[in-house]
Chain A
Amino acid sequence: MISLHPTVIFLIGGVLAGLVGRRAAGIIVLLTPALGMANLLYLDAEMTWQVDFLEYQLDLFRADKLALLFGYLFHIAAFIGALFSLHLRDRIQQAAAMLYAGSAIGAVFAGDLITFFLFWELAAVTSVFLIWARRTKRAMAAGMRYLIIQVVSGLLFFTGVLLLIQESGSIAFDYIGLDGPASWLILIALGIKCGFPLAHNWLTDAYPEATPTGTVFLSAFTTKVAVYALARAYPGTELLVYVGAAMTVFPIFYAVIENDLRRVLCYSMINQIGFMVCGIGIGTALAMNGAISHAFNDVIFKGLLFMTMGSVLHMTGRMNGSDLGGLYKSMPMTTVFCIVGAASISAFPLFSGFVSKSMVMVAALEEGYSSVWLMLLFASAGVFHHAGIKIPYFAFFAHDAGIRTSDPPLNMRAAMAIGAVLCIAIGSYPAALYALLPFPVEYEPFTAGHVLAQVQLLFFGALAFVWLNLTGLYPPELKSVNLDVEWLYRRLAPRLAMAVGGFIGRADHALRRVVLDGLDAAVSSVRRYVGAQGALTTSLSTGAATLWVAVLLGIFLVIYYARS
């Protein structure tokens, strides 16, 4: 059997999807990840693909356990996304989605930093089309901001890599650790893509503006490639423990007051990535297993939640909590899928989030990070509040907004069903996932203590929701925008630029005025002497001229005689 590099299949699929007829594109997009998965399963993990590039040897394929887990995950995500978007008659989106998935897969199998960088950039460029494909003015602008930030992150990364190569002479993509400017640059670049605090707004800005199907792909790849890279290059970097803990906590406040439900999911995505970053920072085998398995589960349950919201957007054209409600009556299947996704992200026992997130929390305690553990525990209760309750409640229950529609087309329902089944399967039988993890798993999630603690936390979180709702303390969904760090570059910077531009304009105007006035004065004085009526240019009569000539000759004669 011929083995292909996993990315090649997606590149071929993506190009074909762009060229063939609109109906065939859907089939190709569905076949691509399926064939890709078959290829990957039969691929010899020891195989290498090496290419000479300048004086370096690029290592296009390194399939250790870490890379393989993300490789499998991205194939599953690409398949679910492809099925979810099967009804599309938009080849640009379908081609972009496959090229994007292929780039992400290429990045996780990259054995060296240059290959990783190239695939990373390709992922940035191809993914923006999933935002632009919405074809609204907002999406165009958000896509451009997204692309700029992705490229800036790429430049930081590449600068870091060049410095690193200068220091070590090696392009191998292995442990880097926080040591020197090169490693800082690379960490910041990865941090931007992970949604580190202050650098997180590209995510909440762009993803909600993408197409209903596009967001499903977007949510799977970019941030998880960054998590993968952090896990490879920065395990045990203590700074990440605190950065991760901050990421779990601050976005949930925004999620509570955000109206656009897909943006709520974006904030909750940063919160979930926070658990992964924190686990990578702790760096023990248990913590790393927790971080990586949580990345796996997050792609599936966050994808499922984005699919349910995508279905709502697709069927109703609305996405704001203030416009929705009561959809359980007309979209019952989507409601059930959403609740499964909500239970999974909230880490209910027997749903997928529970078997992975708790590993990070236990690891935090084991390593003596008590205050971090309390933050993570607060964030766990909080995620249930905004993603577990708020999303299903305001979309499908709450007050009936009077919308009568139906569940989405079959392909969308099937994609959601696969996601939901995976959430429950992994949550109920975690051993299958644990077997794929890079470190041997000695962790038992289903102890009476763990289960009871988590269920108590969640049910009393629900009780708080009931209490706040009954007493009217719960903030209603309002049509609004909440200021975040993005204000700096979406409002302050343009305003400053306008102000500075205005000042320069006025100064320029004043300066020109002075010069022009000077020129005017000069012109009019010249005109006074040499103009039409000027003293030096008025034409005189012949008689007067003769007189002047006689006078001059007279003066000449006088001087001539005087000298001789």
Chain B
Amino acid sequence: MMEKKHLFDDPANVKRLLRAIYVICAVLVGLDLLFLRHGMHEWESMIGFYAIYGFVGCSALVLVAREMRKFLMRDEEYYDDD
């Protein structure tokens, strides 16, 4: 029996979702050019500050966590064999 095809079974739909994210990101940075943010922190008025901070922050988070695995990761049963 053929299973019903689901939304993301079609790679084209995944592509569409990704493209939507790219477009939204571009628009959001574009909006920064229109709105002059006058925040309380000097960095806030930098164009694209939140975008850069979000991207760099998240990438750094994952890449550091990935390195942490090298010395923190143990077998799943690590605490069980006592």
Task: Using CB atoms and an 8 Å cutoff, list the residues of chain A in contact with chain B.
Answer: 138, 252-254, 256-257, 259, 328-329, 362, 365-366, 370, 373, 377-378, 381-382, 384-385, 397, 448-449, 452-468, 473-475, 478-484, 490-491, 494
Q: Decide if B72 touches A459 in the complex (CB within 8 Å).
A: no
Contact among A362, A366, A461 with B57 in the assembled complex (CB-CB below 8 Å): A461
Report the bound CA distance from A382 to B58 in whole Å: 6
- Determine the chain A residues whose CB is within 8 A of the CB of B72 once the complex forms: 257, 482-484
Query: Counting CB contacts under 8 A, is B2 at the interface?
Result: no
Check A459 against B25 for contact (C-beta < 8 Å): yes
Contact (Cβ within 8 A) A478 B73: yes
The minimal Cβ–Cβ distance linking B55 to chain A, given in whole angstroms, is 4
Let me know if B61 and A252 touch, CB within 8 A. yes
Contact A480 B76 (CB under 8 A): yes
The CA of A382 and the CA of B35, in the complex, are separated in Å by: 26
Residue of B8, B31, B66 near A397 (CB, 8 A) is B8
Give CA–CA (A78, B73) in the complex, Å.
36
Q: Say whether A475 contacts B65, CB under 8 Å.
A: yes
Q: How far is the CB of B34 from chain A (nearest CB, A)?
A: 10
Q: Which residues of A contact B58 (CB under 8 A)?
A: 381-382, 384-385, 460-461, 464-465
Closest chain B residue to A398, Cβ basis: B8
A448 and B25 contact, CB distance less than 8 A: no
Q: Which residues of A contact B16 (CB under 8 A)?
A: none
CB-based contact B57/A462 at 8 Å: no
Q: Contacts A329-B6, A481-B78; is A452 near B66 (CB within 8 Å)?
A: no
A454 to B58, CA, bound (A): 14
**B63, B73, B79: residue with the most chain A Cβ atoms closer than 10 Å:** B79
CA distance A138 to B40 in the complex (A): 49
Question: Given A453-B50, A466-B18, list of 15 further CB < 8 A pairs?
Answer: A138-B80, A252-B61, A377-B53, A449-B35, A449-B38, A457-B51, A460-B50, A462-B21, A465-B62, A467-B59, A473-B63, A479-B76, A480-B74, A481-B75, A483-B74
- Of chain A, the residue at the smallest CB distance from B60 is A378
B54:A457 contact, CB within 8 angstroms: yes
Q: Report the separation of the CA atoms of residues A124 and B64 in the bound assembly, to the nearest whole angstrom.
A: 36
Residue of A nearest to B43 (CB): A374
Residue from the set A449, A456, A461, A463 with the largest chain B CB neighbour count within 10 Å = A456
Residue among B58, B68, B69, B74 facing the most chain A CB atoms (10 A cut-off) = B58
- Given A381-B54, A460-B55, A452-B37 contact (CB < 8 Å): yes
Interface pair A460/B37, CB less than 8 Å apart = no
Closest Cβ of chain B: how far from A511's Cβ, in Å? 29
B residues whose Cβ falls under 8 Å from a Cβ of A: 6-8, 18, 21-22, 24-25, 28-29, 31-32, 35, 37-41, 44, 48, 50-59, 61-66, 68-69, 71-76, 78-80, 82
- A253 touching B64 in the complex, CB below 8 Å, given contacts A452-B37, A459-B24, A481-B78: yes
What is the minimal beta-carbon distance from B13 to any residue of chain A, in angstroms? 12
**Least Cβ distance of B69 to chain A in Å?**
5
B31 touches A452 (CB 8 A): yes
Chain B contacts of A365 at CB under 8 A?
39-41
B contact residues around A468 at 8 Å (CB)? 59, 62-63
B28–A455 CB distance below 8 A: yes
Please measure, in the bound complex, the distance between the C-alpha atom of A216 and the C-alpha atom of B8, giving whole angstroms.
Answer: 30
Q: Report the nearest B residue to A404, measured CB to CB.
A: B3
Q: A463-B21, A466-B18 known; A257 and B68 CB under 8 Å?
A: yes
A370 to chain B, nearest CB (A): 6
B52, A370: Cβ atoms closer than 8 Å = no
CB distance from A287 to the nearest CB of B (A): 14
**Is A475's CB under 8 angstroms from B50's CB?**
no
Between-chain CB contacts (< 8 Å), 27 pairs: A254-B65, A256-B66, A365-B39, A365-B40, A366-B40, A381-B53, A381-B54, A382-B57, A452-B31, A452-B35, A452-B37, A453-B39, A456-B54, A457-B53, A457-B54, A460-B58, A463-B25, A463-B55, A464-B56, A464-B58, A473-B63, A475-B65, A479-B76, A480-B69, A481-B75, A482-B72, A494-B82
Knowing A456-B50, A460-B25, A460-B51, say if A473 contacts B66 (CB, 8 Å).
Answer: yes
